[in-house]
Amino acid sequence: MLCFLSKKKFLNLKKQLKETKEELLDISSYLNNLFSFLPTAICDLNPLGVINNTNESFEKLTGYKQIEIVGERLEKIFLEKERVKEIQKRLLKSGRTETIQLTLLTKEKQKIAVEVSFAIRKDTEGNIIGFFVSITDVSGLKRIQEEAEQKIIQKEKELEESREALLNILEDTEEARQRAEEERKKTEAIIRNFVDGILVFKKAKELILINPKAEEFLKTKAEEVLGKDVQTLKRKNRRWAQLFKITGEEIKEVFRKEMAISKSFFLEITTSTVKLQEQEELVLVILHDISREKLVEQMKSQFVSIAAHQLRTPLSIIKWSLSLLREEKEFNKEEKDLVLKAYQTNERMINLVNDLLNVARIEEGRFVYEPKIVEFSEIVESVYNSLKEYAKQKKIEYSLEISEGKKIVKVDVEKISLAVKNLIENALKYTPEKGKVEVSVKERKRKHELVFSVKDTGVGIPKNQQERIFTKFFRGANVVRMQTEGSGLGLFITKNIIEAHGGKIWFKSQENKGTTFYFTLPLVF
């Protein structure tokens, strides 16, 4: 049956067909463009595995231009050619999608690890018309995987080495523990047999160690005192109380402080802090028996005292005789000079004997015995004025400054005068001509004490000798070079005089630039 369309319908149908064709062309162009610019390398194959088309990413990855590879079989660009053929055969039968890892051979024969996905192409009726193939570069991922595997192997190796090292450390630790145990036993043996007494306190002042010698010195037993604190130990007996009177309840650091147990038994106390760890501190107290040294010192002091006393009488007679000879008018100049030199030498001997007697009295503890309440400024003025002539002879600028107000002190006038004289006389003696010596007396109201000072522009005290300046018989090397006279006892005597009066003495000095000596005394009113 023939069907005739009207002209109008025919034209509409023709128009629709034209529009459909244009849409199909647009879709085809879109798909081609999409296929070309996809970032993944893609190609399509016919059922025989021949390449029909490729995209731009495929060209970049393989190095083959489209015109060079289209018409070639897919296995050409892979190292595993047989596997590529087998998978195509398998897919033709199964119709499934499959992904495998292969090695791509580029045009330049470079090998790249890739992941290849195969998908079946079918027409509208379901017939297989070829394959879609996508190729992804996984060389970077594979390299990362290989590096990870290498790291795992390396870590396993390191773990094995660490295990072996740990075993070695454990062996070494055991050896070290044994050595430490041996050392501990040796140390304990040394401590037990040490000739000095040893006490060890924790930071909280708990006694954790006492050796047999310390038990003997302090008349105590270890089991009675270990673990006890300072307050408990103080009540133990008189010797413990004496010890903590010297060290203080906080057991401050002291160096060579003497502790008199009896007239014939003396201990020397030394303490120090021992750091075991950053947070832990121990306090070590050493008790050293100095009874023999004290006995020798007493015998020496007695000898010096007796010898000095025996020398005083003949020296006084010599002085009296020389004084008479100095008045002799018949002597010529040379004879008078000779008598004068003999007189001056005798005076030095008398001064030395007096210094030795003073030292002996200091060591016997009977030096300051006539304390009186006096005005200190008057003592200073008296000594200052007695040395004016000496300062004038040396052309030294000599001055005295006394602050306002009375400075009442309780002192042995003779001994304090000697201390003041020693300091001023030294300043004048060791300051060169046209130098300067400044004497001053000031008051520290807040501390209720006075401060006496003597400042000079003399030779100074060498830095490496300053710590010995108050010891017996010490004289600075620079002083000895310029003046051979002097006993080296003046500052020792001065220090003991000041400290016996409850004062403190110190100095500041720089070699060739001068020295300033200071001392303090407590005020009475």
Give the number of domains in the chain.
Answer: 4
CA-based nearest residue to 60, from 110, 106, 116? 106
Quick one: 428 and 324 in the same domain? no
Domain hosting residue 133, numbered range: 31-137
488 domain residue, yes or no: yes
Quick one: 511 and 456 in the same domain? yes
In this prediction the pTM is: 0.48
Quick one: 100 and 75 in the same domain? yes
Quick one: 484 and 509 in the same domain? yes
Per the listing, tokens 């006492």 go with 210
CB-based contact 468:474 (threshold 8 Å): yes
Quick one: 397 and 492 in the same domain? yes
Residue 356's CB is within 10 A of a number of other CB atoms, namely 19
Phi-psi region of 251 (alpha: psi -120 to 50; beta: other; left: phi over 0): left
Quick one: 377 and 316 in the same domain? no
494 burial (CB, 10 Å; 0-12 / 13-18 / 19+) is: buried
Rounded-to-integer distance, Cα 370 and Cα 500, Å: 12
Quick one: 285 and 222 in the same domain? yes
Which DSSP state fits 107?
A: T
Mean pLDDT by 10 residues, the chain (525 residues): 58 67 53 60 90 90 91 92 91 87 92 91 85 87 74 83 83 82 78 83 82 89 88 87 82 76 86 74 86 76 68 80 78 82 80 73 66 93 94 94 92 90 92 93 91 94 88 76 69 89 93 93 89
**C-alpha of 420 from chain center:** 43
Residue 216's CB is within 10 A of a number of other CB atoms, namely 12
54 domain residue, yes or no: yes
Give me the amino acid identity at 88.
Answer: Q
CATH number at residue 253: 3.30.450.20
Q: Which residues pair with 451 in a beta bridge?
A: 442, 520
Q: Residue 300: which H helix or E strand, with range?
A: helix 291-326
Domain boundary, last residue among 289, 314, 341:
289
23 domain residue, yes or no: no
Domain boundary, last residue among 240, 255, 289:
289
Rounded-to-integer distance, Cα 137 and Cα 160, Å: 36
Rounded-to-integer distance, Cα 481 and Cα 486, Å: 12
Quick one: 309 and 279 in the same domain? no
Quick one: 115 and 230 in the same domain? no
Q: What pLDDT shows up at residue 2?
A: 45
208 domain residue, yes or no: yes
Question: What distance separates the 2 farthest-apart alpha carbons in the chain?
Answer: 191
Q: What pLDDT shows up at residue 1?
A: 44
CATH number at residue 430: 3.30.565.10
Alpha carbon separation from 301 to 296, 307, 365 (Å, rounded): 9, 10, 11
Retrieve residue 127's tokens. 């017939």
Alpha carbon separation from 330 to 320, 323, 333, 335, 343 (Å, rounded): 18, 15, 10, 9, 18
15 domain residue, yes or no: no
Q: What pLDDT shows up at residue 304?
A: 66
Rounded-to-integer distance, Cα 480 and Cα 462, Å: 12
160 domain residue, yes or no: no
Q: Which residues pair with 266 in a beta bridge?
A: 260
Q: Which residues contact 371 (CB under 8 A, 6 or more apart)?
A: 410, 411, 412, 501
Quick one: 378 and 512 in the same domain? yes
Residue 369's CB is within 10 A of a number of other CB atoms, namely 10
Taking each helix axis as running N to C, give the angle between helix 333-364 and helix 490-500, from 0 to 180 degrees, rounded to the nearest 10: 40
Backbone angles phi, psi at 448, to 5 degrees: 55, 55
Quick one: 375 and 390 in the same domain? yes
Quick one: 282 and 301 in the same domain? no
Domain boundary, last residue among 338, 364, 390:
364
Per the listing, tokens 């594979």 go with 142
173 domain residue, yes or no: no
Phi-psi region of 431 (alpha: psi -120 to 50; beta: other; left: phi over 0): beta
CB-based contact 357:308 (threshold 8 Å): yes
Retrieve residue 402's tokens. 């006394």
Query: What sign results for the dihedral spanned by CA atoms 472, 476, 479, 481?
Result: positive
CATH number at residue 349: 1.10.287.130
Q: What pLDDT shows up at residue 278?
A: 63
Establish how many alpha carbons lie within 13 A of residue 217's alpha carbon, considering only the half-sphere containing its beta carbon: 29
DSSP 423-482: HHHHHHHTS-TT-EEEEEEEEETTTTEEEEEEEE-S----GGGGGGTTSTT---HHHHHH
495 domain residue, yes or no: yes
